[in-house]
């Protein structure tokens, strides 16, 4: 419970920091201070500066925006599309279920990162390309969950009491079934947020995500490697710590929500 | 006037080697209460659900289910939705499972009026309040969620919802089984009262003979997918002719004769995987002869060796 609260506060604080990042950052994230290149903590650069003399703290703060925005995009796309696919498959059953379920299993066969690399290779870097690619890769996880929930939910008697009032199947599905399975799907999506953040950071570490010069946590780890060779760990380690803490916070919060929902349903 | 007439209804389910319903005939007249009694698995719920064509997936139905002369089984979907929203409604066994737990009672009650019957928001609300008062609740429950109400109150909400559109026929599928005994009595009294007030025909499905005797004008006894005996409540309960009905009554405790020994019926109802050749009750029947095992009995009392005569 205390862990959950701490994580919730951390996640909330992170969102606020990301919103206010340009005001909070002490330096221009791309401003080059060659005199401070590869330096440890100082009054001017609290977390030191990387090999090009860019302030680690400022890049960390500004980087939190893409770090949150990317996974949010993935979660929104994959949840909306995955829920639509899963509910349609579960509600209609039959051949539609076969086509949609086998189709999304086919997507599962490809590792998320490989799909994303393929997309970046085809469509060039940018925030949108890897987000769309990862959304596709995450879609099957959401659709499988939504399909299972729909299949078990559609047998519940309260849906019959709408049928006997003369509602069409589509109206019952959209207005009553979907809101009732939504909390569970959303809790799963919160957990997906953490994984998407990791995948996006990995892509950006490999230089495959955002355009060069965009401050981003994954790219910062790569940039920080020079400083690390020269004995200054902070420029590389700080973004690592930020990624780990953020992923843990979102997973704990998502997991706690999922637990709470399954307890309520039981 | 006949509001419901079921003629030779047959229902086959995938995986069963004999029809779950094997020719059911039943009639409900305007303002009449008809009880359909039988043990679990006899097909009484399926019979009442088929009136709204609420059939399990893969079911194949034959015969006819006529509501005001129109065959429900042959209706186009749009006409079926209209029938469901206006003419026939249903009260389920467990109100807590049958009402959407996420929505307020007000939303549950007004949604169909607004979406299917084109009522205005204020009109639907007024109608909902009117029906809530008819079932003994106040408009306070409109703002409450189902988990804030007791089982008995929820069943009242369910009944109010069923009567909103002023249906000619109300199907009640074991409406009191999930409730405690004193609430049961209230709900049964309420149904009887409402039927009188609104002139609604009532098909009451139950396994409780005492309840059936208390509420019904006419009783149909069902066994293994067939009606084995029917008649007015007095004749069926006072002078049962089918051995199954007699056996059921002997297995029911009675306050009038508290010292009487209860007789259990030996054996169990036939499995759906077993095919039947003669009378389904023959293996458990004391009067059974060779004829009973080979020929299916028919008639108002579906028995080759009925007991004493109906008045």
Q: Is residue B148 part of a domain?
A: no
- The answer as to whether B133 is a domain residue is no
Diameter over CA atoms, chain A: 77
pLDDT of residue B56: 87
Q: pLDDT-based confidence at A220, cuts 50/70/90?
A: confident
Q: In chain A, which residues have their Cβ closer than 8 Å to the Cβ of B178? A: none
| pLDDT, tens digit (0-9, with 9 covering 90-100), for B54-74 | 988 888 999 999 998 899 999
Mean pLDDT calculated for residue range A217-229: 84
Q: Do B116 and A164 touch (CB under 8 A)?
A: no
pLDDT at residue A264 tops 60: yes
Interface test with B, best of A165, A171, A181, A186 (most B CBs within 10 A): A165
Q: How confident is the model at residue A265 (pLDDT cuts 50, 70, 90)?
A: low
In chain A, whose CA is at the least distance from the CA of B49? A164
Residue at B299 is within a domain: no
Structure pTM?
A: 0.78
Q: Where are the domains of chain A?
A: 2-265
**What range does the domain containing B201 cover?**
2-99+168-293
Among candidates B82, B85, B98 on the partner chain, residue whose Cβ is nearest the Cβ of A161: B98
Q: How far is A150 from chain B (nearest CA, A)?
A: 15
**Yes or no, beta carbons of B102 and A180 under 8 Å apart:** yes
pLDDT for residue B143: 93
The pLDDT tens digits for A128-177 are 888 999 999 999 999 999 999 999 998 888 898 898 888 988 899 988 99
Instruction: Name which of A192, A197, A193, A183 is nearest A257 in CA terms.
Output: A183
Domain membership flag for residue B47 = yes
Crossing angle for the helix pair A56-92 and A128-153, to the nearest 10 degrees: 40
- pLDDT tens, position by position, B32-48: 999 999 888 888 999 99
Q: CA of B115: which chain A residue's CA is closest? A: A167
Contact A164 B54 (CB under 8 A): yes
Chain A contacts of B86, Cβ < 8 Å? 166
Single out the residue of A83, A105, A207 nearest to residue A153, CA to CA: A83
The two structure tokens encoding residue A193: 């947020």
Contact criterion met (CB below 8 Å) for B20 and B202: no
HSE toward the beta carbon, residue B29, CA cutoff 13 A: 6
Residues of A in contact with B111 (CB under 8 A): 165
B132 is a domain residue: no
Band the pLDDT of B170: cuts 50, 70, 90.
very high
Q: What's the CATH number where B184 sits?
A: 3.40.50.300
Token pair recorded at residue A126 = 């940018």
pLDDT at residue B16 in the model: 83
B90–A161 CB contact, under 8 Å: yes
Contact between B92 and A171 using a beta-carbon 8 Å cutoff: no
Listed by number, the residues of chain B in 31-70 with a beta carbon closer than 8 Å to a beta carbon of chain A are: 52, 54
Pairing of strands B33-37, B201-206: parallel
Secondary structure (3-state) at A164: coil
pLDDT above 70: residue B201: yes
Residue B127 lies in a domain: no
How many structural domains does chain B have? 1
The reply to whether residue A165 touches residue B84, judged by beta carbons under 8 angstroms, is: yes
Tens of pLDDT, residue by residue over A180-195, are: 898 889 888 888 999 9
- Residue B255 confidence (pLDDT) above 50: yes
Distance separating alpha carbons of residues A160 and B157, to the nearest angstrom: 16
Q: Does A156 touch chain B (CB under 8 A)?
A: yes
Domain spanning A2-265, CATH class = mainly alpha
In this structure, of A178-187, B152-161, B261-270, the range with the lowest mean pLDDT score is B261-270
- Structural domain contains residue B184: yes
Q: Which among B52, B89, B99 has the least Cβ separation from residue A158?
A: B99
d(CA A43, CA B306): 104
Chain A CB within 8 Å of residue B3 CB: no
What average pLDDT does this structure show over A231-243? 86
| ∠ Cα B6 B68 B237 (to 5°) | 45
């Amino acid at each position: 419970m205390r862990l959950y609260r701490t994580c919730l506060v951390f996640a909330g604080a992170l969102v606020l920091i990301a919103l206010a990042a340009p005001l909070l950052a002490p330096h221009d994230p791309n401003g080059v201070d060659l005199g401070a290149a590869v330096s440890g903590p100082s009054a001017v650069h609290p977390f030191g500066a990387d090999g090009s003399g860019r302030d680690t703290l400022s890049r960390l703060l500004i980087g939190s925006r893409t770090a949150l925005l990317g996974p949010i995009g993935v979660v929104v796309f994959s949840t909306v599309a995955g829920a639509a696919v899963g509910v349609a498959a579960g509600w209609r059953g039959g051949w539609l279920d076969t086509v949609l379920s086998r189709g999304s299993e086919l997507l599962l066969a490809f590792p998320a990162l490989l799909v994303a690399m393929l997309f970046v290779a085809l469509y060039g870097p940018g925030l949108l390309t890897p987000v769309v690619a990862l959304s596709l890769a995450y879609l099957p996880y959401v659709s499988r969950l939504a399909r299972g929930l729909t299949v078990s939910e559609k047998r519940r008697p309260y849906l019959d009491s709408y049928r006997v009032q003369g509602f069409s199947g589509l109206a019952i599905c959209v207005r009553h079934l979907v809101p009732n399975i939504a909390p569970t799907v959303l809790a799963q999506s919160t957990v997906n947020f953490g994984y998407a953040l990791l995948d996006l950071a990995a892509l950006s570490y490999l230089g495959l995500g955002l355009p060069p010069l965009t401050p981003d946590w994954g790219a910062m780890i790569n940039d920080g490697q020079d400083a690390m060779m020269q004995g200054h760990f902070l420029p590389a380690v700080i973004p690592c710590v930020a990624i780990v803490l953020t992923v843990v916070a979102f997973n704990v919060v998502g997991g706690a929500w999922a637990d709470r929902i399954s307890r309520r349903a039981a | 006037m006949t509001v419901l007439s079921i003629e030779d209804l047959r229902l086959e389910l995938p995986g069963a080697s004999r029809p779950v319903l094997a020719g059911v005939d039943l009639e409900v007249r305007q303002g009449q209460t008809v009880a359909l009694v039988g043990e679990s698995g006899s097909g009484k719920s399926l019979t009442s659900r088929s009136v709204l064509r609420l059939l399990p997936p893969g079911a194949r139905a034959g015969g006819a289910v006529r509501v005001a002369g129109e065959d429900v089984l042959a209706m186009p979907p749009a006409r079926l939705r209209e029938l469901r929203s206006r003419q026939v409604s249903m009260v389920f066994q467990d109100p807590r499972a049958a009402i959407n737990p996420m929505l307020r009672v007000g939303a549950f009650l007004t949604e169909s009026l607004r979406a299917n019957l084109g009522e205005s928001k204020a009109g639907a609300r007024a109608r909902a309040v009117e029906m809530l008062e008819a079932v003994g609740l106040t408009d306070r429950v409109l703002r409450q969620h189902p988990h804030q109400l007791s089982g008995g109150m929820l069943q009242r909400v369910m009944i109010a919802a069923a009567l909103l559109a002023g249906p000619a026929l109300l199907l009640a599928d074991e409406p009191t089984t999930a409730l405690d005994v004193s609430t049961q009595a209230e709900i049964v009294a309420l149904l009887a009262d409402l039927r009188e007030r609104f002139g609604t025909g009532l098909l009451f499905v139950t396994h409780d003979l005492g309840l059936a005797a208390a509420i019904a004008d006419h009783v149909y006894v069902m066994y293994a997918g067939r009606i084995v005996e029917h008649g007015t409540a007095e004749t069926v309960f006072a002078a049962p002719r089918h051995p199954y009905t007699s056996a059921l009554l002997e297995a029911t405790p009675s306050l009038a004769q508290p010292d009487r020994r209860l007789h259990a019926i030996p054996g169990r109802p036939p499995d759906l995987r077993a095919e039947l050749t003669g009378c389904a009750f023959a293996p458990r029947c004391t009067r059974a002869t060779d004829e009973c095992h080979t020929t299916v009995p028919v008639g108002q009392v579906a028995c080759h060796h009925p007991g004493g005569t109906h008045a």
